[in-house]
Structure 1
């Protein structure tokens, strides 16, 4: 596990959140007692996150998946690296233009990755666009207030 943060000793609540063996760590304390500790990685994928690639799946696969996530979770986070960025931007703009989503957040950054050919560190641009369900926003904005009565 390259990058991780020790969160806490695994309480019953935390144990329920641990999904697989990569997220837990057994540590032997000085008194030789083995303790289970929860470890959350920095790159843990969120349930409503879609990592878009421009070579693995066609554009409409990610578009339809985004629509499904917005309906199911009321929000979606699209992320992409490098040449997949235009695909993410296009998906987000189509969802906004069709009235399915509003843009909540936009994050642009650079990440360093090892090049598979020679092992050099290469900087890649990264984008994350968070979208929320437009219907949910409309319901909140049109909800009657006490002043309307």
Structure 2
């Protein structure tokens, strides 16, 4: 019985690694981040500007210091072995689509922003006026 328990613990650790979850968040102990993981993450889309404002005004899990993640932070939750959504399995709410990052850039007279496409697990950039999903984050 004790062997089964230890095997189960090892399997869960390999699936979730440095992550743990609450009802509405995922905690990443490796990078000291808390990620939003509720129904809204997969049900609402925003322009980049709307997404920045949404995260800034979000109150979730008793916290109100949420922000839009950087593209580097979004890369830390990509799991290319998990298909069709290339995100760690600890995350319950996901659309296989683009999620805005806070990073911006100029290209050919347009203002663009980076986003993570969780269908491919690859970062791209797109015009900020278009709608993408948003997964807010906070430092812990």
> What range describes the TM-score normalised by the shorter chain of this pair?
under 0.3
Q: Which has the higher helix share?
A: 1
Mark the structure with the bigger radius of gyration: 1
Q: Which has the higher strand share?
A: 1
